[in-house]
Chain A
Amino acid sequence: MNIAFYCFAALTVLSALVVLWTRQLLYSAFALLFTLLGMSGLYVLAGADYVAIVQIMIYVGGVLVLLIFGIMLTNRPGTGHAPISGRINQFTGILAAGGLFVLFFIVFLKANLPFPALKSSPHSSVTPIGIGLMTDYLLPFEIAGILLMVALMGAAYIAGRKRL
């Protein structure tokens, strides 16, 4: 189990580094795919199989495809112009990143989380999540649903608007 955990962790971290450092926009999108897959693997090891699947379904099947789609339409291989980014706000950037790291580090130390994958529970997380959504968290669930519905209708309206 531990080996699997380290494999997934390494996959996640390495592909995340590729996302950061590659000059080719599409490569970073494809690397993001592996980051997300690694993350969902970690979720599975943590016993959250439902979240893992949702992670893949939404981020890989939806968001990432949309991302790649956008890149594909704007960027073609062989044209060779990598995105140019200057070095601005280096100091504040490093400061913010370092601050965040320290913050998370302290939180993780104090949270005293059980090491993941110590026990893979035989019971799925699907049923509790379903029951939870339909009872305790019904209102947030419905509000989120309405929000998405509104967004969908708005998108349809904007997309379908006739030219003036």
Chain B
Amino acid sequence: MIAFLFFLVFLLVYMVFAVYAERKLSAFIQDRLGPTEIGPYGMFQTLADLVKLLQKEDIVPVKADKWVFLAAPAVIFTAIFAGFAVMPLTPTLQGSGAVVGVFYLLTIVSIDIVGLLAAGWSSNNKYSLLGAMRSVAQIVSYEIPVGLSVLCVVVLCQTLDLQEICYQQGIYIRTLPVYSESTNYLFGIKRLGIDMTEVGGFLTWNVIRMPLFFIVYIIFFIATLAEANRAPFDIPEAESELVGGFHTEYSGFRWALLFLAEYGMMLLVSFLGAVLFFGGWNTLFPNIGPVRLADWTSGMPGTIYGNITGAFWIILKAFIGVFIQMWVRWTYPRLRVDQLMHLCWKVLTPLSLLLLFISALWKLL
């Protein structure tokens, strides 16, 4: 329940400042200033925008399918918010300790597609319909590289539970009864015989336990970018050709909800990337001999200090992920549909299959 309330509030606050950050970042990339007027450095610009949005009339087009139209944003947002349920925020705080965590996450997000379809279809607008069709084609296709790249991690960690995956990547691995006997070796290779269990830090993150995971992460990042309908994979929205895609007809509060869902999706996949590849709530700093940096910067699971540091690290990592997503967005132009499919089916899917194979072999080393 705490996790639920936390994520709900956190998501709203995050969205307000993520929109601001995105506007600032895009401005800086384009040598502009961005919002400057409202609040210090224009910090409350989004709040003002939000107030404006909430005041606006909730317009339902006459020819739209009213109930589906009204329900679609809620479906989209619910699907994405449900994804946060299995996200481990700290060593002990997690909405639901479902054993099928990652699998659930990938699945529940696919309900998002139904919402997109409903939104696009019920608007009774050719742009919305086209946007919805594009988004479905895109998301269904990119679920394969996402699934395969997640599978690489699952093969290595041998669990679907996100909390367990987090525990595996840090110094507190042995506090979990399941792993009380297990040991973390450098690069995950037992034969090297370098025990990293007590060192922790970034040296036990999945990207180091299996160095090729950096490539897997890039695949994961690209594919989740497409899942989140973010530029350069924003052909479903494509302001310049489809006006706004599936959310063309939405206004006011419902539009804000769709926006919230988009930014929520960004955060969700960034969280997931942080958990799967970059140690989740584990600290960045390793223990070096008597300098117990890892111990100092992450408390024991269950303690207050452990909760605070855990939340700090995972949120920091997620925000870095969001930053990279924004950075990418304002760097690249939009892909064409055929380029999108080429990238997915001919590049990312074969590569992730190959990497899955290597990951399975790596476990045997």
Which residues of chain A have a CB within 8 Å of any CB of chain B?
26-27, 30, 33, 37, 49-50, 53, 56-57, 60-62, 64-65, 68-69, 72, 76-78, 124, 126
Contacts A68-B114, A124-B100 given: A77-B108 contact, CB under 8 Å? Answer: no
Contact partners of A76 in chain B: CB under 8 A: 124
Residues 59-104 of B at the A interface (beta carbon under 8 Å): 63-65, 68, 98-100, 103-104
- Taking the closest CB of chain B, its distance from the CB of A45, in whole angstroms, is 13
Contact, CB under 8 Å: B111 / A126: no
Contact partners of A126 in chain B: CB under 8 A: 99-100, 103, 160
B183-224, CB under 8 A of A: which get 1 and which 0?
000000000000000000000000000000000000000000
Q: Which of A27, A30, A69, A124 interacts with B136 by CB under 8 Å?
A: A69
Contact, CB under 8 Å: A64 / B114: yes
Contact, CB under 8 Å: B99 / A49: yes
- Taking the closest CB of chain B, its distance from the CB of A46, in whole angstroms, is 14
Contact, CB under 8 Å: B124 / A53: no
Contact, CB under 8 Å: B136 / A49: no
Interface class of chain A by DSSP: helix
Q: Does B355 sit at the interface, judged by CB under 8 A?
A: no
Stretch of B39-47, B115-123, B295-303 on the interface side: B115-123
CA gap between A49 and B63 in the complex, in Å: 41
CA gap between A72 and B40 in the complex, in Å: 48
Contact, CB under 8 Å: B110 / A69: no
Contact partners of A26 in chain B: CB under 8 A: 65, 68, 121
CA gap between A61 and B99 in the complex, in Å: 20
CA gap between A124 and B102 in the complex, in Å: 14
- Taking the closest CB of chain B, its distance from the CB of A26, in whole angstroms, is 7
Contact partners of B111 in chain A: CB under 8 A: 33, 37, 56, 60-61
Range for the number of chain B residues in contact with chain A = 20 to 34
Contacts A49-B100, A57-B106, A77-B122 given: A72-B133 contact, CB under 8 Å? Answer: yes
CA gap between A50 and B120 in the complex, in Å: 31
Contacts A33-B114, A53-B103, A53-B107 given: A65-B122 contact, CB under 8 Å? Answer: no
Contacts A57-B106, A77-B122 given: A69-B117 contact, CB under 8 Å? Answer: yes
CA gap between A77 and B136 in the complex, in Å: 19
Which of B113, B124, B129 has its CB near the most chain A CB atoms (within 10 A)? B113
| 4 additional A-B residue pairs with CB within 8 Å, beyond A57-B106, A64-B114, A124-B160 | A30-B68, A57-B110, A77-B122, A126-B160
Sorted nearest first, the 3 A-B pairs with minimum C-beta distance are A61-B110, A124-B99, A77-B65
Contact, CB under 8 Å: B107 / A61: yes
- Taking the closest CB of chain A, its distance from the CB of B246, in whole angstroms, is 12
Contact partners of B113 in chain A: CB under 8 A: 61, 65
Q: Does B176 sit at the interface, judged by CB under 8 A?
A: no
Q: Would you list 19 pairs from A and B whose C-beta atoms are within 8 A, ordered by A residue?
A: A33-B111, A49-B98, A50-B103, A53-B100, A53-B104, A56-B108, A60-B110, A61-B140, A64-B114, A65-B110, A72-B129, A72-B133, A77-B121, A77-B122, A77-B124, A78-B63, A126-B99, A126-B100, A126-B103
